[in-house]
Chains A and B, each alone.
Chain A
Amino acid sequence: MTASRSGIPLKDFYAASAGVAARDEIPGAYPYTRGRHRPAQSGQGWIHRELSGEGNARRSNEQIKYLIGIGQMGVDVIGDSPTQSMLDPDHPLVKNAVGTQGVSLCCRQDYLELYAGIPYDKVSISSSVPSVFSMTGLYIALREHGFPHDRARGSVLQAPLYAEDCSYSAGMPYSLLSRLALDGMSFAAKYMPRFHAYVEDTYFFSETGLTGIEEMALGFVEIRHLTRSLIARGVPVDSFAPRIAILVNCSMDLFEEIAKIRATRRLFARMMKEEFGAQDPRSLSVVISAHTSGLTLTAQQPANNIVRGTVQGMALALAGVQAMEISAFDEGFRTPSAEAHMVGIRTQQILELECGVARVEDPLGGSYYVEALTDEMEHAIWRMVGDLEARGDPVALAEQGYFRRLFEQASERHYRSISSGKVKVVGVNCHKVADDEDKLLRDIAERKIAPDRQRIEEVKQFRAARSQAAVGRALRRLHDAVATDQNLIPLVIEATDAGATMGEMAGAMRLACGRTYDPHRQLQPDF
């Protein structure tokens, strides 16, 4: 007997007896398994966007304008590894990484330059930069560019329980990251009501090699943790739940990925209604965006990645997501080149305009197989949520390294499944070609971005030229507020306006939590 990627046993074929849960469901109605849109809104397609960011803010601004020029409908910016780790570009440890794998952002001027001339009324502004800084940076840019905050659309990612344990650690306590997420959500509910201040980012942590079941179970644990905490603060569920979205991964297991997204919508709706008492239909019908899996892409034969991106994009279109990014064919080597950006956007356009996959809502609804798999995924995800919550408070679990071990085990499992040949990857463990014959698109994939050393000098000059006294006062206020129950977002905005950098603000907040100012112990506070 075969099994899906998450290990769900599969039959040879499925008949009418299977998957009965969705038999009477319709799209746009509770429990939203079949999509959040009412049929009258169908055929609208999804937001086409690609992840971008390289060099300094000016260079990344040009990249965004290029993408909008070829049809991108939303912006999604990723920071370079120092930015993702909340380190300024002049930190001694990061000198070889500035601007090479994303955009370098650390101060007020960067956000003004990043979004200069971007039509806020036409595109949504999302980012994969640490949420507190990307949201406040955007807030300042909107204000300076004269666009009303209450009309701004976009999102920031939150993963306070997991961010420290995969990919980019910033040396922040889990409790502080949770608090910043909650502060961001409260702030946005008041001042940026159309902005999604909480996108549950299941993408990045599932890239450790988690299965679809594990991905969504961990995602739900975090959603439930933040929802409970915000309700405990006295914030009404219907004031923030409509602005929760989920950014999911999409691997190569076509049907399981579709079932995963359908099951997620159903579980979210039930949970919000039955457990948290939400009543607004928008609180129940979660927005789902997606990024196709970078982990499934290979350094070998980069052209094959275009096919992988297409299959994954197709799965997402059939599942009815609200926005997608297709990982670029050069992912094995670098952040997307202009050529890879073009292919990603064109793939989405071909899927939508030529295949007509978005003509009707939930085109696979009623398929015996897809409905059965949706039910199986639903049950398996919820079982795992129960198991995880039975282990105790999720912040405590994170502090004990429980999630980190899960991610490490998943990485190892993933690596072994490929090296043993259990999971087939064309061009890697089967149907390989010799290195000297592997030429197609390699020249583009292998082109590098040099570290932006000029940027390091510019930041040093900026630091020397600003009013240190004003920066010091603002950092002190931010530091002192951490011990109170004040919302920290306005204080981050104030400090940024005063000239403080991301590294300094992160350091001030770390200090206030009893951590070292600089997680790498190379810098000292100056306030």
Chain B
Amino acid sequence: MRVPKIIIGLFGIDQHEVGALAVSSLLRDAGMEIVYAGRYNTPESLLRIAVEEDADIIGISCHSWEYLDYAPELIGLVRSHGLDVAVVLGGSVITATDARLMEAAGAAAIFGPGDPPGAISDSMRRITQARRQSMRGSFQGLD
């Protein structure tokens, strides 16, 4: 089975990379493939990278409130292009109320500062596995 492939980046002008870099290295250590998109991303730029890389997940580290507008935009864009890429958010600024809002908008998972590293990597594997199964399903359907 191929390992999960995850794009990690930040939205807009949010420049606090501490969390993004830390999570990237944590997931790499857990055996996953990370494409680090870094700072200054828009929903369009992340979508482009995800398509080019055939990624399973786009993970956004959120340290400013910009994600409140950008994340639903990205999820909408992924869907309107008919892609099966999960959008995952993480960061201390995401409150419980906003997490529910983002889940309702279609975010696959949301992590806060208190989540143990193991929980993050397990969740990434589960999401990837579900995606791969659904893809296999659709290929079988094509046969």
Contacts and interface: CB of A to CB of B under 8 A. Distances in A.
A443 B68 CA distance: 18
Given A96-B65, A208-B18, A209-B18, A81 B13 contact: yes
B97 A97 contact: no
Contact of B15 (A81, A333, A428, A435): A81
Given A100-B65, A411-B18, A415-B18, A333 B93 contact: yes
Interface string A42-65: 000000000000000000000000
A419 interface: yes
B97 A446 contact: yes
A451 B14 CA distance: 13
**Could you say which interface size class chain B belongs to?**
20 to 34
Contacts of A449: 65
B134 interface: no
B82 interface: no
Contacts of B39: 169
B14 A520 contact: no
B14 A300 contact: no
B50 to A, nearest CB: 19
Nearest to B20: A411
A435 to B, nearest CB: 6
A184 interface: no
A333 B92 contact: yes
Interface string A80-100: 011001010000011111001
B95 A97 contact: no
B42 A93 contact: yes
Interface in A432-468: 432, 435, 442, 446, 448-449, 451
A435 B111 CA distance: 13
A213 B137 CA distance: 56
Interface of B: 11-19, 21-22, 25-26, 39-40, 42, 64-66, 68-70, 92-93, 95-97, 112-114, 116-117
Interface of A: 81-82, 85, 87, 93-97, 100-101, 167-169, 208-209, 298-300, 332-334, 408, 411-412, 414-416, 419, 428, 432, 435, 442, 446, 448-449, 451, 520
16 contacts: A82-B13, A87-B13, A94-B12, A95-B12, A96-B11, A97-B12, A97-B66, A101-B64, A298-B113, A333-B93, A334-B93, A415-B22, A435-B96, A446-B95, A449-B65, A520-B40
